[in-house]
A and B are shown apart, each in its own frame.
Chain A
Amino acid sequence: MPANEEYLRSPKLMHRVFCGSALLLLLTTIWMMWADYNDEWRTYQRKAFHYQAERLKARETTLTADKQHEAKVKELEQKKVDATKQTADQLAALAELHSKFEEIDKDKDGKISYEDIPEEFKVGEKAQKFRELLKGDFDRLASMNPGSSEKLLLTLADFPTESQRKKAVQVARDKESNHLRELKLERAKRDVARADYNLGIRDNLDMKALEKRFTDAESRVQKMEVEFAELKLQTIEAKMSLAVITGALDQVTKELVAEQAAIGLIHAAAAKIEPQSGTLQAFKRSMMLVPIIEGFNSPERPIQDWMPGLQFTLGGMTNVARFDRCRTCHMSIDVVDDSITTSVAGAFPAGKAGEKGKFPQPYSSHPNLGLYLGATSPHPLPKFGCTVCHEGQGSGTTVTNASHTPNDPVEMERWAKDHKWFDNHFWERPMLPKRFEEASCIKCHVNVVELGVNEKFGPTAPKVVKGHDLIQTYGCFGCHEISGYDGNKIIGPDLRLEPTTAEEAAEIAKDPLQVAGKLRKVGPSLRHLASKANSGFVSHWTEEPKRFRPTTRMPQFFKLDNQSDDMAAKYNPVEIAAMSHYLLTKSEKLDTLSPIEGYKPNAERGRELFATKGCVVCHTHQDVPGLAAEFGPELSKVHAKLREGKLGFDWLYTWIREPERHHPRTKMPHLFLDGEGTGDKYVDPAADIAAFLLKLEGAPADFKPTQTYETPEVPDAVLDELVTYFLMKVLTKSQVDVVMKTGKYPLPASVIKGDEIELAAGSDEDFRTRKMSYLGRKTISRYGCYGCHDIPNFEKARPIGTALQDWGKKDRSRLAFEHIHEYLHHHGQAGLGVIVDTVDAGAAARLKLDAPRGVRVAKAKKAEFKTDDVIVAIDGLAVNSMADYNELLDRTVVGSNVAVSVWRNGHLLESPIAIKADTSMLERVEDGISRASRGDITNPVADERERSAAFYYESLTHHGRPGFLWQKLRQPRSYDYKTIETKAYDDRLRMPKFPFTEEEIDAIATFVVGLVAEPPSAEYLYNPGGAKGAVIKGERLIQQFNCSACHMLELPKIRYGADLESITASDTAVEYPEAIALLKKLRPVQNALTGEMKTVKGKSLPIIQFHGMVSSYPDPEDSPDEQEYIADSWDFLNVAGKELFPTSKFIFPAANLDRIDPARGGQYAEWLVKRLVANQTAKEAGLAWQMSPPPLYKQGTKVQTPWLFNFLRNPGRIRHTTVLRMPKFNMSDSDAQALANYFAAVDGTEFPYQLIAEREPEYLNEKNHEFHTAFKDKKEGYLQESWKMLNAPLCIKCHSVAGRQVAINDPKTDIRGPNLELAAERLKPDWTLLWLYRPNWITPYTSMPSPLPPQQPGAQPRFPEIFGGDGLRQTISLRDALVNYYKLMETEGKVSPQPQPQPAAAGGND
């Protein structure tokens, strides 16, 4: 065979192969292009475009159909027609006039100007003739252009057509510029003449000629200047003539265009997105969308936002700028509804698919455009993008690629079905699920508090704030430091302990690269423990704190999951005993106080004092119900824990009276509970309160605790075993043997660094004591007790837990999940083995319960329970609802015994049922998911609870961080499941169990997940200075010192639908105008109208709102028609044009109420007022308010910041009416400064310094001058006269002033005002003056009357010899005397007591 082609291959076959592969390549190419084109996002964009077009069309329809618009357009069109006609008429009239002019003077070349008309035609008889001649044309023209001068009209008549007029303008302008040129020349000539003249003087020439030359030149210039001005005017007139005829038409045309512009724009926008089919526009758009071509300039395209300032770490290697393509699918996310002008709202409100007017994701707008993305929001889209808050893969353009994260497994399943969603493990920063959406806020908002309290936006991220607060309250940072600093650079929220010792604080202050922590230890100091409790109680408490106090925040360290084996059973009691041994033997002596000898404390009085002296602000006690304060511990059982006899009493007495003796950094304030009265009436409030708390009936020495505790047995063998075990870690076997045998430690104390120092120290102590101390100290070190408590010898100890500042990005492989999955299969859920349901009224009656409370056992799986048992309490805490039941169970320790109080067969079982709370977590989750996805759970709280549990469980089984954290907080030791068998005893987990509910854990997780220690660039960090910074710092301190429990910081806000007719404006005639002006300055008028409406009985009423207090609530005994609210406004209001002073009363029917937003803070004050009225301490609520902590409303306008600083540091007595005093908090100088600044900053006033102008010579000189001008015969100065006023028999009635003490009849009932000496340093002058004008404008309930208000004609004059009895001058002088008080005391001195007024001196001014 020839070696031709066919020998090698078959061409035919080859052609087929070639053809086939070519086709294949073509198809592949087409498929490739198609695949490239057919992106997921295109579907979303098309639909989004469609929604946008629909919305635009709908708006166009609405706007066009709008009656007002329609009417307006009609009106304008009519106007246009009219204007057109008018213009035409005018032009015709002009033309006519022009022709008449031409007739008058044919000699002229077709032009008549005003000047050409003979003077006699302009005025007088001839003018009349001229007008007649024009047959009224002229008048017609004049009437058409009102305001135009005759001359202008005549000019018009000269140029009847527009082109002529334009030309006339040109001519006038030319004339003007030509003239100017000549004028300039003349000016130059004059200047030359002047220069020559000057030179002539120098050269002694003949001045006459020179002078004449200059004068001539000057007069020429002058003449021409006048002419030039005239020409200029002519140009202007010519220009005016251009506009005068067509002006009206132009105007109306413009208006019409403007009216239709909005619709036109909308129409154009809609047509651009969805052009009408068949049009050129539609064709163009369809062409742009053709594959391949669309690559050039298609409306459908990925939309990206690039934020170079916001970087993130990619794969732990390099920092890259964020590049978000989220808007590719979420196209309408930042579209603002521009039809609403009053607020910022999204054009596409979010909602479920199918809901009318709502749009599902990804088509909806952001739900809060006012705060996020909007151009005016603090987080504008171009600057922030999306992923800095939401995380996820910004470059991804599919649901899965963008790393969306479902909020719960139910949602996850739906996504998997709808979007083929799967968990993308390869993106390290998946999007935060909805439950964690607030977590990112703390990246920039490192101070956190502004996310909870925000004047403008309200609480914007309440959950992360809650998590932050829980960590602060429970003191997690004692073991787990959360450092907000890398060196001195801010990287996140800072939660760290403050330096324990002064030396440490000084050292940190010196180091520029260190910032000291700020938080105090949350537990009580144990430094003086021996003076408070004995070893039995300490052991009892430590083993299981909630056994003694169910509400305690102290976590449980023992009797947990990994301590149920024999080894723990043997060791734990010994460890506990050793710990209490250590704490009590190392306890330092406390100098206690005692009540005076022989004082018999009165427990009953103590109970009242406990309420009125403010103890209930922070503490609850079962005998003083009403306020559920949780700030401090519950105190119902104090009598069961203290040491017996006088020791225990004195400790408590000292603690109540001078808490700082026990611990200088305690949060418990000094309450100034000093003894009052003398002799038989002597009352020692601290002793009485102590007696109340101790249930003491006799003398302090009689105190006997109501409970005794056994000190645990410590078998020597176990003690030795443990000591040996721990010693083996630092010594050799033979050394240990020697120590245990001889009791001698091989090293001297000076070289021992660890806890072993206890074995070496104190040779005088026997070896067993030393062993106990060693084991105790070792145990405290191991469990980190010092993280919360101040313990001797642990001042320098470091936190034992993992630092959490970057836990949110912790590598998941470094989390020890161990056998958690297996554990949760069988355990992990605190259940009682019963199925329960709610007890409703019917069930309560059937079960003979007094009221629906507790939960009913519907199905009992365990023998301990029976159907129809009602669980009324768990571990001593009442169960009132299903929510309580779930919450209390959550707080219990899984696997340990729970005491369940049960109502059975119509009575309560004598002793609670003890049952192990333990069921399978998996079962719960499976049950929860299936019920949630079926929609069986109707209660949204319960639904979220189950979904949340399922989410965390899912996360846990997939080794997610949130799941790990969740289980760690629920059951910290469960990670030791089946590992304790193989690990060393001291390797066991030590994290204690905190009494958190699942909701609380969710909040804490939100905060911790957000701790990523990725500081944004400085421009993003929100750490403002100035007033904003002062507010943030202040809010933090207010929380820390619980200020708002006593004081109202914001008054309640009352809103109701008002009948505006019935509201009468305040009578301004009865006030000094100066007083009203000052009121407006200090309390700017607030617009009370909200713009919202409320329909009451078929009538639509405008809702008004104001800050104030409700003085009377609807009386249920009244008929529904008569039920009404009475409220006092504290604001200066403007209600639809009527101005109402503060204190105005609003009385309105109950049905009109919209809502009352409760006050911010002041719950105690409100409670105390009610109590004081109820027990008749106060006759009226107003008087009771004067006995209670005052609202701090607009405090910044009232007090001087430096004074407030001093007051906070050391609060002296101001008011004498109060039943309690402002306590002294252990506040540092910087805290006090920050708080003082806060009050000024929130009210927008100057801080930290204020100028007191009324003390300056400028002011006083002015006043002196004015005074002497008005009162010529007065010899003394203005201030002297003012001092007289202040010392007149007016203020002294209630205030001590100028060294004179106010007379007191009965200290209990007398209203005694603050000592006026305080005013100068304390009060701001403006505020003081307003107070003197009208005290109840500032504090409606005050007893202080207006001292010198305007008088009616004929009234009896007041103090006529001072300032001539002028009330206004007198009032101002009072203020000035107060402001200059110290100076006047110095110069004028104490005023000797007044001579007794003589009753005979009627009509005088005593």
Chain B
Amino acid sequence: MKTCIACGMPMKAAEDFPGGDQSKDYCVYCAREDGTMQSYPEKLEGMTEFLVRTQGLDHGAAHETAVRLMSKLPAWKDMRTNA
């Protein structure tokens, strides 16, 4: 089973992949509308928004958490963590 390189989500079903393309290493939530992978700023904003919207975290706390969580993921390991 694949794990999304950009957010860590397990990907099993075709619907978990962008456009159902199971050769991709990133999930449907980390893809742009054209199927390419989101950039670091896009993903950081998306993950922050997800934490705020679904769990009600404070925006600043969500942002800091997203920065730390993303720094451990293969797609962003080399990114600076002070974004």
Do A and B pair up? The answer is no
